[in-house]
């Protein structure tokens, strides 16, 4: 037992000790309040955002892709709606019963049923929709719609597939669309400030992206902006309700410079031969015809094709996927001669009166090597005008022989050779404008005088795409003024440029045009057969690309047995003269004669453009 005094001491000790503990708890309490204060007040914004992010899930809504028109406002590429049957798995207690019932209305194939049963449970768990059947027929839609009251847990929704109304005419110019890669999707999300992790599209998976041609180059314009459905979700990710809807912004329509009618004509005339046709509206630099043949159906590629059919296209020796118009490399052959002639005039190497005797060949003084013309015996006395009309190689061999290779290359480059001359073409090839450095670096050989001589007739290493040839034709037609090429109207970037030719005056251009008119109109012209195919005057220069060098016509007859050895046929043309509106280039692989094989195609395309 403790006595009274001790009791006082005890009480005091108890009091002190209780205070110690209470003070300790007080400190903890203050610390706790401080924590709560900092969570709720100081860091409120962060946690508020975190809470909202926790509970919101955004589902992207796809925009509808823009429509592509031709220059006259005709729809070329459009979106066609297709209708899908979509179910709400979380409202369906038993999938098998449901399928049994709905099969009476809409037939399901085993693949579709398998897909449904594989994904049913998970979709149901998270309240996500599920596509039961794609591309319903009109009959199926009607059958479902009248009975839709029986299926509150299913509905039909519209989605779009891409359709080119002229699938073979614009295979390369407009190109095709296809499924998007994760990387592309991710960069689009970044562009449109969307969350990167959101890759679940609401029942319209398979967002399309332009893969080639205009569909690719103008993808951003055509694509539009995603909309969003914003859902509230619980901790398991289950949709609770839709809280907001932001409409997608559909893609903008695109008005191209392409002319449907000329494409029809070009396609028909090419008749699936390997080659390309390009036509340009000279004043604007607009590409109005852009055809590479043989072509393929873009709709098949965009919307699905059997693997057999696809393999057949891939393995087709005529390479339908290859865009000959902007990626095919061809020697310009004799079509280079106007540019060489202009070079001679500019440098004062020749004038219009200057003439040589053409024995049918040119002998290189350095090594006595013989460079032959196309006609045995030659063309006799030729000046520039006649050399153009009859396409005298000897004249241009000797002119090239006199030229300085560096300034000649510079001169040719001004016409677009070796350069990208199109602002919005898909993957254009630059062709090849050979230089001595190029030859040394790539072939380990120095530049011979013979190489320069070959350049004079567009043979040898020089190569150009049909696109470049058409551009070159338009520069010639417009007397040296030119605009870069485009496929879509209203390009503000384009400015008119002039060739830096000091000594070429208007009369020189007129004489050059007149010699090119002579190519068709002169009885000796290499393309004289074209004369009656039109009602107006056309200037042209044909070319025949030698693939195998032969000494005699007999030799050629032997090698032409193999179609792949036959000469390519090339022509550039512009008209109607004297104020040309359109420039055309046509290449037909192994077509043999520029004038009589490529020529009719060029004239037909010009006709379609001029005689509207």
Which residues are near other proteins by CB under 8 A? 1-2, 6-7, 9-11, 13-15, 17-18, 21-22, 25, 28-29, 31-33, 35-37, 39-41, 43-44, 46-48, 50-52, 54-55, 232-236, 240
Which lies closer to other proteins via its Cβ, residue 234 or residue 404?
234
Which lies closer to other proteins via its Cβ, residue 35 or residue 402?
35
Which lies closer to other proteins via its Cβ, residue 52 or residue 80?
52
Task: Write down the least CB distance from residue 15 to other proteins, Å.
Answer: 6
CA distances 344 to 337, 373, 381, 396, Å, are 10, 19, 18, 9
Task: Write down the least CB distance from residue 55 to other proteins, Å.
Answer: 5
Which lies closer to other proteins via its Cβ, residue 19 or residue 312?
19
Which lies closer to other proteins via its Cβ, residue 41 or residue 193?
41
| Helix (H) / strand (E) containing 131 | strand 130-133
Task: Write down the least CB distance from residue 14 to other proteins, Å.
Answer: 6
Residue 28 tokens, joined: 């903890």
First to last CA, the chain: 127
Which lies closer to other proteins via its Cβ, residue 49 or residue 496?
49
Rounded to the nearest 5°, which phi and psi values hold at 561? -55, -35
Q: Which residues pair with 289 in a beta bridge?
A: 279
Number of H helices, E strands in the chain: 22, 21
Q: Which residues contact 603 (CB under 8 A, 6 or more apart)?
A: 530, 533, 534, 538, 573
Residue 83 to residue 141: CA distance in whole angstroms: 8
The number of residues making up the chain comes to 612
Task: Write down the least CB distance from residue 125 to other proteins, Å.
Answer: 14
Please report the sign of the dihedral spanned by the C-alpha atoms of residue 150, residue 153, residue 158, residue 161.
negative
Residue with tokens 């109607």: 576
* Dihedral angle, C-alpha 376, 378, 384, 388, nearest 10 °: -30
Task: Write down the least CB distance from residue 197 to other proteins, Å.
Answer: 18
Task: Write down the least CB distance from residue 1 to other proteins, Å.
Answer: 6
Nearest residue to 64 (alpha-carbon basis) of 208, 171, 203: 208
Task: Write down the least CB distance from residue 12 to other proteins, Å.
Answer: 10
Residue 8 tokens, joined: 């006082």
Which lies closer to other proteins via its Cβ, residue 51 or residue 200?
51
Nearest residue to 610 (alpha-carbon basis) of 265, 275, 276, 270: 265
Residue 74 to residue 67: CA distance in whole angstroms: 10
Please report the sign of the dihedral spanned by the C-alpha atoms of residue 100, residue 102, residue 106, residue 108.
negative
Which lies closer to other proteins via its Cβ, residue 30 or residue 440?
30
- Cβ proximity of 494 and 486 under 8 Å: yes
Residue 581, judged by CB atoms within 10 A of its CB (0-12, 13-18, 19+), counts as middle
Task: Write down the least CB distance from residue 228 to other proteins, Å.
Answer: 19
Which lies closer to other proteins via its Cβ, residue 12 or residue 220?
12
352 Cα distance to chain centroid: 43
Which lies closer to other proteins via its Cβ, residue 46 or residue 114?
46
Q: Which residues contact 114 (CB under 8 A, 6 or more apart)?
A: none
Task: Write down the least CB distance from residue 129 to other proteins, Å.
Answer: 21
Task: Write down the least CB distance from residue 36 to other proteins, Å.
Answer: 6
- Cβ proximity of 491 and 300 under 8 Å: no
Rounded to the nearest 5°, which phi and psi values hold at 352? -65, -20
Task: Write down the least CB distance from residue 8 to other proteins, Å.
Answer: 11
Which lies closer to other proteins via its Cβ, residue 25 or residue 445?
25
Task: Write down the least CB distance from residue 200 to other proteins, Å.
Answer: 19
SS3 category, 318: coil
Which lies closer to other proteins via its Cβ, residue 2 or residue 493?
2
Task: Write down the least CB distance from residue 124 to other proteins, Å.
Answer: 18
Residue 147 tokens, joined: 């009975």
Which lies closer to other proteins via its Cβ, residue 52 or residue 496?
52
Task: Write down the least CB distance from residue 304 to other proteins, Å.
Answer: 40
Q: Which residues pair with 587 in a beta bridge?
A: 276, 570
| Helix (H) / strand (E) containing 582 | strand 582-588
Nearest residue to 459 (alpha-carbon basis) of 535, 396, 365, 386: 396
User: What is the secondary structure of 249-290 as a DSSP string?
Assistant: BPPPPEEBS--HHHHHHHHHHHTT-SEEEEEEETTTTEEEEE
Which lies closer to other proteins via its Cβ, residue 29 or residue 445?
29
């Amino acid at each position: 037992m403790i006595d009274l005094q001790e009791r006082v001491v005890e009480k005091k000790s108890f009091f002190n000790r209780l205070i110690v503990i209470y003070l300790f708890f007080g400190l903890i309490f203050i610390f706790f309040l401080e924590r709560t204060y900092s969570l709720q007040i100081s860091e409120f914004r962060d946690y508020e955002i975190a809470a909202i992010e926790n509970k919101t899930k955004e589902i992207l809504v796809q925009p509808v892709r823009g429509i592509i028109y031709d220059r006259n406002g005709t729809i070329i590429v459009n979106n066609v709606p297709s209708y899908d049957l979509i179910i709400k798995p979380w409202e369906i207690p038993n999938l098998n019963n449901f399928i049994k019932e709905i099969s009476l209305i809409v037939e399901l194939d085993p693949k579709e049923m398998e897909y449904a049963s594989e994904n049913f449970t998970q979709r149901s768990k998270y309240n996500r929709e599920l596509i039961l059947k794609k591309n319903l027929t009109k009959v199926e839609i009607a059958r479902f719609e009248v009975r839709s009251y029986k299926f509150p847990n299913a509905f039909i929704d519209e989605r779009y597939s891409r359709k080119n109304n002229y699938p073979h005419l614009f295979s390369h110019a407009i190109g095709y669309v296809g499924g998007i890669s994760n990387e592309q999707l991710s960069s689009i999300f970044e562009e449109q400030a969307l969350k990167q992790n959101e890759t679940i599209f609401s029942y319209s998976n398979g967002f399309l992206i332009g893969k080639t041609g205009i569909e690719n180059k103008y993808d951003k314009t055509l694509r539009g902006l995603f909309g969003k459905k914003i859902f509230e979700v619980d901790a398991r990710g289950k949709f609770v309700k839709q809280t907001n809807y932001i409409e997608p912004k559909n893609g903008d329509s695109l008005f191209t410079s392409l002319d449907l009618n000329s494409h029809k004509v070009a396609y028909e005339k090419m008749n699936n031969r390997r080659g390309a046709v390009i036509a340009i509206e000279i004043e604007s630099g607009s590409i109005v015809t852009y055809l590479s043949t043989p072509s393929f159906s873009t709709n098949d590629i965009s919307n699905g094709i059997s693997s057999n059919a696809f393999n057949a296209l891939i393995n087709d020796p005529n390479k339908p996927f290859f865009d000959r118009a902007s990626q095919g490399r061809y020697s310009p052959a004799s079509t280079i001669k106007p540019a060489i002639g202009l070079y001679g005039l500019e440098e004062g190497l020749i004038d219009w009166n200057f003439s040589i005797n053409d024995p049918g060949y040119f002998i290189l003084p350095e090594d006595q090597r013989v460079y032959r013309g196309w006609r045995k015996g030659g063309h006799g006395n030729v000046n520039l005008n006649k050399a153009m009309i009859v396409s005298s190689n000897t004249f241009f061999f000797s002119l090239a022989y006199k030229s300085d290779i560096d300034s000649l290359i510079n001169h040719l480059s001004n016409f677009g050779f070796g350069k990208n001359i199109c602002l919005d073409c898909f993957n254009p090839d630059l062709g090849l404008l050979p230089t001595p450095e190029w030859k040394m670096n790539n072939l380990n050989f120095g530049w011979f005088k013979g190489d320069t001589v070959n350049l004079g007739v567009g043979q040898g290493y020089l190569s150009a795409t049909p696109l470049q040839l058409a551009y070159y034709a338009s520069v010639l037609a417009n007397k040296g003024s030119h605009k870069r090429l485009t496929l879509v109207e209203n390009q503000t970037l384009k400015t008119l440029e002039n060739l830096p030719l000091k000594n070429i005056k208007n009369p020189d251009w007129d004489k050059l045009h007149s010699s090119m008119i002579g190519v068709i109109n002169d009885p000796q012209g290499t393309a004289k057969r074209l004369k009656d195919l039109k009602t107006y005057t056309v200037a042209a220069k044909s070319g025949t690309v030698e693939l195998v060098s032969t000494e005699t016509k007999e030799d050629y007859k032997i090698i032409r047995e193999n179609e792949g050895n036959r000469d390519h046929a090339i022509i550039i043309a512009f008209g109607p003269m004297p104020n040309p509106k359109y420039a055309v280039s046509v290449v037909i692989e192994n077509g043999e004669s520029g004038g009589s094989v490529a020529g009719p195609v060029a004239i037909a395309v010009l006709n379609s453009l001029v005689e509207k």
